[in-house]
Amino acid sequence: MWWQWPHWLPLVVLVPLGAGVVTPAISRKSTKAAWVWAATAVAATVGASLPLVIRVAQEGPFSYTFGGWTPPYGIEFRFDEVSAFAFVVAFLGALAIVFSLRYAPHALDEARIPYYYALLLLNLAGLIGFSVTGDMFNLYVFMEIISLSGYALVAISGERIAEMAAFKYLVLGAVSSLFVLFGIGMLYGVTGTLNIADATQRLSVVADTVPVAVAVGSIVLGFMVKAALFPLHVWLPDAHAIAPSPVSAVLSGLVVKVGLVGMLRLYQVVYASRAVDLVTLNRLLTWLGAASIVMGAFFAMFQDDIKMMLAYSTISNVGYIVMGFGLASRYALVGAAVHIFNHALIKSALFLSAGAIIYQTGYRRLSDLRGVGRGMPLTGAALAVGAVSIVGIPPTAGFLCKWYIALGAFEAKNAAFGFALVFGALFIFVYYIRMLNAFYFQEPVRAEVTHVGDPPLSMLVPMWVLAALCLAMGLAGKVPLTFIEPVVTRMLAPTGG
Amino acid sequence: METADVRVLLAPAISFACSGLVFLTGRSVFWRRFWSLGAAALKFVVVLSMLPAALTGKTFVWNLIEFTPGIGITFRADALGMFFALVSSALWLITTVYAIGYMEPEHAKVRFFGFFALCVSTTVGVAFAENLLTLFVFYETLTICTYPLVIHEETPEALRAGRKYLAYTLVGGACILLGSALTYQIAGTLTLSRPGVLPAAADPRSLAVLFVTLVAGFGVKAAVMPLHGWLPSAMVAPTPVSALLHAVAVVKVGAFGVLRVVYNVFGIELLKRLGYTVPLAYLAAFTIIAGSVAAMFQDNLKRRLAYSTVSQLSYIVLGAALLTPAAASAAVAHIANQAFAKITMFFAAGAIQRTTGKTQVHELGGVGHQMPWTMAAFTVASLSFVGVPLFAGFITKWYLSVGAFEAGMWWFALVMVASSLLNAAYWLPIVYLAFFKGPEGQEVQRREAKPVLLVPTIACAAWVVVLGTTSDVPGMPFALARAAVEFVFKM
């Protein structure tokens, strides 16, 4: 079958990576060319990642070895159900680039636009590489590609406040990367291999588990900074709120997930090898997850800037996922893993519609935007769908995770966290309702926002594709849940491996 | 006997499609009215067409989509669900006519009629939910869809009431979500198609937690004290909304949920053994009395109606909690009895407000001379609440009292008597004021409400009498209530 062609797997990383590198050279003359080039490249990436998802659904995980050097000596790409994140990355990246057609010229100097697309493509390449690599060092390398392009994307508008946010992001990002690198180094020292599958096998017979525990702790710490788990979240709100909106969508929807996909990878190794006992760590993560849900919502309540609200809402959602990891029961893990995907869709829908509102009105504060729902009916509706979804009203995508993690909490005999999750989630309602009230039901402060009109199609289409997916992925919740389930089954299998 | 039949899906789908069409084409007055009335009529016909089969014990099922592995969004029209669906679709039709007349001078009518249709869609979804998750899906959607209606006026007061409404109902929803998860953990299924799913051997502590979370969750919308605070505030909404949603759809969804929990999740036998319903019965009895007492002190007519609703809803909860067949019939039948009587009163209150501008009870002197038909309908509803025989409310009171004796708890029959007296004490003065006291120093002119407001009011009042006189006629709603009770008690 066409989808079994082995070289789709390297292509899906190499296409955006290569295209990203040459973007500035290609578009020296016209910024339009940069967009066409980036859009073509990202479309090709979506095309290349689709067969991979079909194949993993049909056949289960598969590998690709570069140059015929078999692991553990050669470099391995390994595609399992978690790697389907690569498809989400390519898809959301494509929508963000389409959205940027009109947004980027509005938000950035013309000279920076080619670099903008180049960085965006590199960022996507890093994300895809991160989710498909089977090698710990490559994992680190891709993570750095993501981080570095991320810092630059936050700063790209060149405004002073953007540079400040990017700097804060950079400092914490660099420290967290070091923690991850340190952990990977320790694991290499203990096992003598960098291949993840190989390391898993060797770890299961390691006698001295103290260094392994230190390595796991260090990697988890690093990843949790990347994932912006409370109280390690301080870098996130400014960076995500100040970046151009399509970038915010990518950062909040995808880049934050690096820490979480990374956690899943690490847990796959540790659970399978039974090298260290994770009970204490899991208990800590469950508590921090709960704290993250509540604190994210708490901070968001005091914001007036809509993108700031959305940024804090990411912290709450990361809390859901980490709590799911910490509960470590079957339902909780499935729910957490699926929410990695669903949150990407929902949050992108929200950031893109917020971006469209800012683009059309020039305002970004809730107090200025009163009544904008009447002026931009289609955009407002997309945002409302996203908001309903992220607060977890059934049958939208956001509900699945709440339902599954609640089931998981009871399954883990830890009912208290089920209560914490569901009631904590109510706080999230508070500020989204404030947002919808302002958009629809309050007296406008700025009269002009009530008749600005909807944005051009290049913005409307991406946000409505995402809003429709928020509904579809919820209604057909069976699809993602059954897709991701084998991963969890393998993780929790009594024999390991 | 179960048959796959698409009509159970159509019933909620029609009003869902209607709301979409209203949002798309509703700027035109004609199309807005056309879709609203057409969908309401069509839906009523569809639900009604299922009635003969339901009376012979057939149930229709339709599996829409598998929501999560093993749990579908599935619709199933059993006798209890049919009863509720029939009440809400009949009242939607009547209320739509009324709303078209009432809302004429209001703003944002597209939004109003769009969300109005969505609410009814979700209400029927709750009625036909085959499992607890489907029920929850529609329960929460209903909460969200009613919000724009509650705050329709967009005044700070309306927004405050809306916030209060959401705070109460969303916390209730969270409880139901947890209860559903716990049910799934204990029973391994969420279906509502059996008379009880929980195994008797389950850990009693979990069962107690489960009972409290589920009943408290549904109790919020059923306005069981002390969870009733949102209901009187929500009266800021336009009258048709108060009428349909706060006397019928929203609050009855809560009461219906309590019935489902008692009959289909726990089951009669298990609850009899556990005895959890006894405190619930006391709470309901307290609410019946306290709600009535509070109603006496309200001068605003709609607020008085609201407290009366609080009191009346607990009849249903009490009927469920007594766990006897007669009480259960009362509980199911009261879904209709209360709905028609209460909606008559709301319609009358709205008609008075639109015609004369009066909203307070003390202003109503002589209004019966001005609007004799409207006030006649109001009187019929009052008598029904007092429990005068031949009116719908009597049926409930009678069977509930019988049920109390059956259960060996005769003192609940005294609660019925007390409630009758209290109802008389706060409804009959209004009737007296309206008919026997003229406004002093003014000449009373006959100024009846517009026909579009008056006809629905009278139709509902007439139906109150029909319900009160035909409880033994086969094929009437009460027969359906009996069928539901027979299923629950495995008779």
**Do the domain assignments include residue A308?**
yes
* DSSP bridge partners of A64: A77
Residues of chain A contacting residue B209, judged by C-beta atoms under 8 Å apart:
415
How far apart CA A372 and CA A386 sit, in angstroms, is 16
| B458 & B389 share domain | yes
| B72 & B180 share domain | yes
**Do the domain assignments include residue B406?**
yes
pLDDT above 70 (res B52): yes
Residue type, A171: V
Residues of chain B contacting residue A407, judged by C-beta atoms under 8 Å apart:
181, 184-185
pLDDT band (50, 70, 90) for residue A147: very high
Q: Which of B215, B233, B261 is the last residue of a domain?
A: B261
Given an 8 Å threshold on Cβ–Cβ distance, is A415 in contact with B166?
no
**Do the domain assignments include residue A231?**
no
User: A193 CA to chain B: closest CA distance, Å?
Assistant: 39
Domain encompassing residue A360: 291-497
- Fill in the DSSP letter of residue A229: -
The total of structural domains in chain A comes to 1
Residues of chain A contacting residue B12, judged by C-beta atoms under 8 Å apart:
none
Given an 8 Å threshold on Cβ–Cβ distance, is A394 in contact with B137?
yes
Section A172-198 average pLDDT: 91
B184 → closest Cβ in A407, A422, A477: A407
**Do the domain assignments include residue A408?**
yes
- Stronger pLDDT, B443 or B17, i.e. the higher one: B17
Residues of chain B contacting residue A482, judged by C-beta atoms under 8 Å apart:
69
Given an 8 Å threshold on Cβ–Cβ distance, is B174 in contact with A425?
yes
| B319 & B250 share domain | no
Write out pLDDT tens, residues A66-84: 877 777 777 889 999 999 9
Residue type, B99: A
**What's the N-to-C CA distance of chain B in angstroms?**
16
pLDDT above 60 (res B346): yes
pLDDT above 90 (res A92): yes
Residue B441: what pLDDT?
Answer: 57
Given an 8 Å threshold on Cβ–Cβ distance, is B67 in contact with A440?
no
Cα nearest neighbour of A419 on chain B: B178
**Do the domain assignments include residue B267?**
no
Cα nearest neighbour of A442 on chain B: B154
| B366 & B229 share domain | no
Cα nearest neighbour of B184 on chain A: A407
**What's the N-to-C CA distance of chain A in angstroms?**
28
Q: Which of A182-191, A289-298, B15-24 has the lowest mean pLDDT?
A: B15-24
Instruction: Choose the mutation target among A338, A440, A441 for the interface with B, i.e. most B CBs under 10 Å.
Output: A441
**Do the domain assignments include residue B223?**
yes
Given an 8 Å threshold on Cβ–Cβ distance, is B67 in contact with A433?
no
**Do the domain assignments include residue A261?**
no
A478 → closest Cβ in B66, B154, B185: B66
Write out pLDDT tens, residues A376-413: 889 999 999 999 999 888 888 988 888 899 999 988 88
Cβ-in-10-Å burial (0-12, 13-18, 19+) of B489 comes to middle
| B282 & B203 share domain | no
Residues A348/A247, Cβ–Cβ less than 8 Å: no
Given an 8 Å threshold on Cβ–Cβ distance, is B68 in contact with A442?
no
Residues of chain B contacting residue A395, judged by C-beta atoms under 8 Å apart:
67, 73, 137, 141
The total of structural domains in chain B comes to 2
Domain encompassing residue B233: 1-261
| B224 & B371 share domain | no
Q: Which of B261, B293, B313 is the last residue of a domain?
A: B261
Given an 8 Å threshold on Cβ–Cβ distance, is B154 in contact with A393?
no
How far apart CA A96 and CA A243 sit, in angstroms, is 13
pLDDT above 60 (res A495): no
Q: Map residue A205 onto helix, strand or coil.
A: coil
**Do the domain assignments include residue A323?**
yes
pLDDT band (50, 70, 90) for residue B48: confident
**Do the domain assignments include residue A334?**
yes
How far apart CA B196 and CA B260 sit, in angstroms, is 9
How far apart CA A257 and CA A340 sit, in angstroms, is 7
Q: Which of A180-184, A275-279, B186-190, B456-460 has the lowest mean pLDDT?
A: A275-279
Write out pLDDT tens, residues B253-309: 999 999 999 988 988 888 888 888 889 999 999 999 999 999 888 888 888 888 988
* DSSP bridge partners of B63: B74
Tokens of A108: 């950035």
**Do the domain assignments include residue A470?**
yes
pLDDT above 70 (res B443): no
| B153 & B17 share domain | yes
| B196 & B292 share domain | no
Write out pLDDT tens, residues B78-110: 888 888 998 888 888 888 888 888 887 778 778
pLDDT band (50, 70, 90) for residue A496: very low
- CA-nearest of A96, A111, A116, A119 to A46 is A96
Residues of chain A contacting residue B169, judged by C-beta atoms under 8 Å apart:
none
A&B contacts, CB < 8 Å: 76
| B241 & B318 share domain | no
Q: Which of B218, B234, B261 is the last residue of a domain?
A: B261
- CA-nearest of B294, B317, B314, B315 to B305 is B294
**What number of CA atoms fall less than 13 Å from residue A424's CA on the CB side?**
27
Given an 8 Å threshold on Cβ–Cβ distance, is B185 in contact with A410?
yes
Write out pLDDT tens, residues A24-59: 888 877 888 889 999 999 999 999 999 999 999 988
Residues B126/B142, Cβ–Cβ less than 8 Å: yes
| B59 & B171 share domain | yes
Write the ipTM: 0.86
Which chain A residues in 382-401 lie under 8 Å from chain B, judged by CB atoms? 388, 393-395, 400
Residues of chain A contacting residue B137, judged by C-beta atoms under 8 Å apart:
394-395
Looking at chain B, the whole-number percentage of residues with pLDDT higher than 70 is 98
- CA-nearest of A357, A431, A420 to A387 is A431
**Do the domain assignments include residue B366?**
yes
| B245 & B353 share domain | no
| B246 & B342 share domain | no
**Do the domain assignments include residue B271?**
no
**Do the domain assignments include residue B266?**
no
pLDDT above 80 (res B246): no
**Do the domain assignments include residue A368?**
yes
